[in-house]
Amino acid sequence: MSEIKKDNTEEKILNAAQAVFIQKGMDGSRMQEIADHAGINKALVHYYFRTKQKLYEAIFRKVFKQIFPKIETFILSDQPIEEKLTIFIENYIDVLLKNPYLPTFILKEINRDPEFLASVLKSQGIHPNQIFEMFEREMEDGKIRKMDPRELLVNLLSLSIFPFAAKPLMQLMLFENDKKAYKQFLQNRKTTVQEFVLNSILLKDK
């Protein structure tokens, strides 16, 4: 039964590596710590993934996928723009509520090695163009205010992601380090961000 056992340890390593890398980043993580976290010998980690770099890359790809929720469905639907944005924001914030360390990890590591990021983006097939075209259609239909669609996307991402990335700072500055209060705040943003954006871009039909 080599298959089952193999999958099992490989998975244990991946889980442990994700936990450690996400918290401490590539530089701050130790192979020994990953092994300990997986409850195995350090040499086993090398046996399965050869080098720290290779293991890290596997984790980065795995984690990176999670931060791009199924955007396609939200663009291709023929719901009104209000609904689309609602879905986008809620989807995003929900993903981050479940994986609050994702933004920090991604931001940290895209700066550490941007070239590697490029290869991941390429292999992942990210097409923001679809989103831009959708935005532009809505603008031409007079549904939303005219603006650079890239601005709109960046604004949506900023408003959704930043509060997670800056969590320790915001929690401390705005909520006296009350963890629950800040989590509730993030929850609420599913609606407040939506309102904030819609109020800004929606054109009332005359």
List contacts with a second copy (CB under 8 A): 24-25, 27-28, 101, 104, 106-108, 110-112, 114, 117-118, 121, 126, 128, 145, 147-148, 150-151, 153-155, 157-159, 161-163, 165-170, 172-174, 177, 185, 188-189, 192-193, 195-197, 199-201
Cβ neighbours, 10 Å, residue 126: 13
Q: Is 19 one of the binding residues for DNA (CB under 7 A)?
A: no
**DSSP 3-state assignment of 202?**
strand
- Residue at token pair 């984790």: 59
Shortest distance, position 35 Cβ to DNA, whole Å: 8
Report how far apart the first and last C-alpha atoms of the chain are (Å, whole number). 70
Among 11, 23, 47, 147, binds DNA (CB under 7 A): 47
Rounded CA-CA distance 127/131 in Å is 8
Q: Which does 161 bind (CB under 5 to 8 A by kind): a second copy, DNA, none?
A: a second copy
Closest CA to 54 of 36, 68, 34, 40: 34
Q: Which CB contacts under 8 angstroms, 24+ apart, belong to 2-9? A: 9/38, 9/40, 9/44, 9/48
Rounded CA-CA distance 67/157 in Å is 11
Shortest distance, position 114 Cβ to DNA, whole Å: 20
Among 11, 50, 79, 112, binds DNA (CB under 7 A): 50
Q: Is 52 one of the binding residues for DNA (CB under 7 A)?
A: yes
Q: Is 77 one of the binding residues for DNA (CB under 7 A)?
A: no
Give the DSSP H/E element, type plus range, for residue 58: helix 52-66
Q: 48 or 196, CB closer to a second copy?
A: 196
Q: Which does 42 bind (CB under 5 to 8 A by kind): DNA, a second copy, none?
A: DNA
Q: Which two tokens stand for residue 104?
A: 């920090």
| Site of interaction with DNA (CB under 7 A) | 1-2, 4-6, 8-9, 29-32, 40-44, 46-47, 50-53
